[in-house]
Amino acid sequence: MIVPKRVLVRGTGLIGTSIALALRAKDVQVFLSDADTATARLAADLGAGSLVPDLRDAKGIADVAVLAMPPAVVGRELGYAQECAVADVYTDVASVKVLPAAQARALGCDLEAYVPGHPLAGREKHGPAAAQADLFLGRTWAVCPLPETARDAVAAVTALAVACGADPVLTDPQTHDRWVALVSHAPHLVAVAMAARLAPSSVPPDALKLAGGGLRDVTRIAAGDSALWTQILSANAGPVAEIVAEVAEDLAAAARLLAALPQPASPVGALAGTAGVTNLLDRGRAGTGRIPGKHGGQPRNFAVVQVVIADRPGELARLFNAAGAAGVNIEDIRLEHSPGLPVGVAELSVRPGEVGVLLDAMEAGGWPVRR
Amino acid sequence: MIVPKRVLVRGTGLIGTSIALALRAKDVQVFLSDADTATARLAADLGAGSLVPDLRDAKGIADVAVLAMPPAVVGRELGYAQECAVADVYTDVASVKVLPAAQARALGCDLEAYVPGHPLAGREKHGPAAAQADLFLGRTWAVCPLPETARDAVAAVTALAVACGADPVLTDPQTHDRWVALVSHAPHLVAVAMAARLAPSSVPPDALKLAGGGLRDVTRIAAGDSALWTQILSANAGPVAEIVAEVAEDLAAAARLLAALPQPASPVGALAGTAGVTNLLDRGRAGTGRIPGKHGGQPRNFAVVQVVIADRPGELARLFNAAGAAGVNIEDIRLEHSPGLPVGVAELSVRPGEVGVLLDAMEAGGWPVRR
């Protein structure tokens, strides 16, 4: 694959500018353009490339043009960029793909030269100032050609993704949108629907004192911006609706089964009528097992070591120093604080063979460990 | 409140033995008993108290007897312990309260002396060897008297919970079961129903490559044991069914709204018909905001600093050392690894006023920081 030598980034927000910075680090010649001139200038000042004030003066300036903008405007901007003939190949980075592809088709764009794309990366912040050359490092980048898209165009965009450090995954717009509905949009709505049960004033604060880490995990993403998520969900409405309806059906069926049990429920052993619930639990378990873990591929089985730590400066440093001195790599860490108290439990994930060494090191360091 | 001087723990698994250890640390005299003699002996060997081989020889041995066993057997064991008259006051630690209370009533137990209880603490491991004196430190301990329960009995069990380091919350069995359905049992089923969508073989591995931290958060608890969770959900079937049915209704309604939108959805601004979705998103946001955060009370607003780190031994130690040397306390940490690559991003939560100092320290240490 040959990395494009000259790339035009149209739309210099977080994603566009990050792509520009990543490509500049690979010595690609980058041109910048944005409907908001100040935004493009800021990106240029950050070293992301050279400013192109007017696309009408930029005929043939690039091998690939990247349209980095919300899904709803991609079609129109693609038409304009192709009218100006700024590049041989065009791609976009919008988080849904059917909508921009349909609009491009409706507007009569040259679909042979258009490769819908979607890098799976982002930040809480926006704008060129938040951009990072390493934003796509190790991230998946969906490349979603249309039936009309030329092979050379797909190869060029794939090479661009690789140059940004990403892991390209080839699919098509319809499949892409079903996938993101499944792994991102539907989970958001499910988290929201659970969190919404906590909102009524009929739920007293004491009830929420009984909450553990599980509830926090399930509902964490529900804190997202409502207006933004209404747009995201609407732009992928069909696939999201299908999956959410299936989740709703499974939950309604489980609720019916549980409601039909004797109240209060019989002791263990007399649980006739719960096979459907167990079946759902089994399917859920199988589903989580398929989510790739760290370092890609299947989730690695790390052992978890719990250490009680004081909540004061330097305490975690001391912990990691002790682990490091013992030659143990902490693969992951999770802090669970005891509400109301200045102590917490650190859950350290390590390779199973290193548990003993780590526990010894922790004990030697004076931490109460939980074997 | 006067802490009981003599406590009998019947059932020396993880919870029972942890209570025994916590009370021993407060110089309470603890007696141990278990249907499985070897288990009771192990707890005694761990220093949790003195063995009581036969409850029939233990009349009046304790001020409070703690029944630490699954919900379905509490009623029967309460009847037996009261028959042996081992204590003045009786409590249990089962995770549901209506079922044991109903069985105690049906068996004609002395309800004046019975205080249903539920410490909100646990571990992945089981048995006395996994017990910890600090298991209840800062955790909520629900105290759920019946209408018949004597005030003195409630005071004694409340004092016992406090002696274990817990934060007692007073309620009744019905309310307790509705609360745990809301904050624990229903969220489990919701996570499971979402995760179940990932299970079918029609979902290819490439689809799951598009998964981010959100999906992992939502589905994490769905990895729990199916048989155990079938029991838990069945023992609290009524309240769980009610909440799960409400979640299912909200999701089904959102799915209907989304399915009714034009496909592919119209651009931003033409999103008629999405008000219901936005309303659900708003309610979800409000709900998450109510979950108590670290250190109890409302969640504190920490600033998040992202640092790109190499995945090698000693790297996190170096990071925490630099933070500690700068006098910055890391309140929380989350590691986000780039799949397939030996680098990751550490998200460090610190007090907003300490962000600048931390960033300077990180940069001085050679880490690429994201401002």
In a 10 Å sphere around its CB, with 0-12 CB exposed, 13-18 middle and 19+ buried, how is residue A171 labelled? buried
Rounded-to-integer distance, Cα B104 and Cα B241, Å: 24
The pLDDT of B19-32, averaged and rounded, is 96
Looking up residue B230, the CATH number of its domain turns out to be 1.10.3660.10
Would you state the pLDDT for residue A122? Answer: 75
Interchain CB distance below 8 Å, B254 and A184: no
- What pLDDT band is residue A331 in, cutting at 50, 70 and 90? confident
Is residue A183 situated within a structural domain? yes
Could you give the residue ranges of the DSSP H alpha helices within B169-236? 173-180, 186-196, 205-208, 213-219, 226-235
Would you state the pLDDT for residue B294? Answer: 41
Would you state the pLDDT for residue A293? Answer: 66
A81-119 pLDDT per residue, tens? 999 999 999 999 999 999 999 999 999 999 999 999 999
Q: Measure the CA dihedral B202/B204/B207/B209, to 10°.
A: 150
Is residue A272 situated within a structural domain? no
A243 touches chain B (CB under 8 A): yes
Disruptive mutation site among A143, A194, A230 for chain B (greatest number of B CBs within 10 Å): A194
Res. A248: pLDDT tops 80: yes
B60-115 pLDDT per residue, tens? 999 999 999 999 899 999 999 999 999 999 999 999 999 999 999 999 999 999 99
Rounded-to-integer distance, Cα A209 and Cα B109, Å: 30
A128-160 pLDDT per residue, tens? 888 888 889 889 999 999 999 999 999 999 999
Cβ contact A66:A82 at 8 Å: no
The pLDDT of A285-304, averaged and rounded, is 68
The Cα-based distances of B153 to A321, B114, B131 in angstroms read: 48, 7, 26
Q: Which of residues 271-300 of A touch B (CB under 8 A)?
A: 271, 274, 277-278, 280-292, 294-297
Res. A342: pLDDT tops 60: no
Would you state the pLDDT for residue B100? Answer: 95
B235-267 pLDDT per residue, tens? 999 999 999 999 999 999 999 999 999 877 555
Is residue A195 situated within a structural domain? yes
Q: Which chain B residues are closer than 8 Å to A223 by Cβ?
A: 285, 288-289
Which of A271, A280, A335 lies at the smallest CB-CB distance from B333? Answer: A335
Interchain CB distance below 8 Å, A370 and B330: no
- Which range, of A177-181, A206-210, A300-304, B4-8, averages the lowest pLDDT? A300-304
Looking up residue B28, the CATH number of its domain turns out to be 3.40.50.720
Q: HEC string of B90-136?
A: EEECCCCCHHHHHHHHHCCCCHHHEECEEECCCCCCCCHHHCCCCCC
- Which range, of A197-201, B297-301, B330-334, averages the lowest pLDDT? B297-301
Cβ contact B55:B65 at 8 Å: no
In a 10 Å sphere around its CB, with 0-12 CB exposed, 13-18 middle and 19+ buried, how is residue B368 labelled? middle
Q: What are phi and psi of A13, to 5 degrees?
A: -80, -155
A189 and A156 in a common domain: no
Q: Which of residues 55-114 of A touch B (CB under 8 A)?
A: 70, 72-73, 96, 98-99, 102
Which of A138, A240, A368 lies at the smallest CB-CB distance from B340? Answer: A138
Range of the domain at B64: 6-171
Q: Which chain A residues are closer than 8 Å to B233 by Cβ?
A: 258, 274, 277
What angle separates helix A186-196 from helix A237-259, to the nearest 10 degrees? Answer: 40
| Percentage of the residues of chain B whose pLDDT score is greater than 90 | 63
Contacts of A177 (CB under 8 A, 6+ apart): A96, A97, A98, A236, A238, A239
Cis (ω within 30 of 0) for the bond into A147?
Answer: no
- What pLDDT band is residue B313 in, cutting at 50, 70 and 90? low
Would you state the pLDDT for residue B266? Answer: 56
Res. A297: pLDDT tops 60: no
B124 and B40 in a common domain: yes
A164 and A40 in a common domain: yes
Res. A183: pLDDT tops 80: yes
Q: Which chain B residues are closer than 8 Å to A255 by Cβ?
A: 240-242, 244-245, 248
A233 and A312 in a common domain: no
B323 and B187 in a common domain: no
Strand B6-10 with B29-33, pairing: parallel
Res. A42: pLDDT tops 80: yes
A333 and A232 in a common domain: no
Would you state the pLDDT for residue A312? Answer: 67
Is residue A200 situated within a structural domain? yes
- Which range, of A40-49, A300-309, B194-203, B229-238, averages the lowest pLDDT? A300-309
Res. A296: pLDDT tops 90: no
Is residue A69 situated within a structural domain? yes
Interchain CB distance below 8 Å, A206 and B179: yes
Would you state the pLDDT for residue A193? Answer: 97
CA distance B215 to chain A (A): 6
Q: Where a domain ends, among B149, B171, B193?
A: B171
A155 and A16 in a common domain: yes
Would you state the pLDDT for residue B298? Answer: 39
Q: Where a domain ends, among B153, B171, B189?
A: B171
Residue B306 or residue B191, greater confidence:
B191
Would you state the pLDDT for residue A182? Answer: 97
Bridge partners (DSSP) of residue B64 are B7, B89
0.90 exceeded by the pTM?
Answer: no
Cβ contact B198:A299 at 8 Å: no
Count of structural domains, chain A: 3
- Write the ipTM: 0.79
Res. B136: pLDDT tops 60: yes
Q: Where a domain ends, among B134, B152, B171?
A: B171
Res. A196: pLDDT tops 80: yes
B129 and B189 in a common domain: no
The pLDDT of A49-64, averaged and rounded, is 97
B320-354 pLDDT per residue, tens? 888 888 888 787 787 765 444 455 677 888 888 88
Would you state the pLDDT for residue A344? Answer: 66
Res. A54: pLDDT tops 70: yes
Query: Looking at chain A, which residue has its C-alpha nearest residue B369?
Result: A132
What's the one-letter identity of residue B350?
A: V
A191 and A143 in a common domain: no
- What pLDDT band is residue A267 in, cutting at 50, 70 and 90? low
A117 and A21 in a common domain: yes
Res. B151: pLDDT tops 80: yes
Is residue B287 situated within a structural domain? no
A152 touches chain B (CB under 8 A): no
Looking up residue B347, the CATH number of its domain turns out to be 3.30.70.260
Q: Which chain A residues are closer than 8 Å to B236 by Cβ?
A: 265
A6-24 pLDDT per residue, tens? 999 999 999 999 999 999 9
Is residue B324 situated within a structural domain? yes
Res. A244: pLDDT tops 90: yes
Cis (ω within 30 of 0) for the bond into B352?
Answer: no
Res. A57: pLDDT tops 80: yes
A370 touches chain B (CB under 8 A): yes
- What pLDDT band is residue B271 in, cutting at 50, 70 and 90? low
- What pLDDT band is residue A335 in, cutting at 50, 70 and 90? confident
Would you state the pLDDT for residue B315? Answer: 77
A18 and A143 in a common domain: yes
B327 touches chain A (CB under 8 A): yes
Is residue B115 situated within a structural domain? yes
A245 and A204 in a common domain: yes
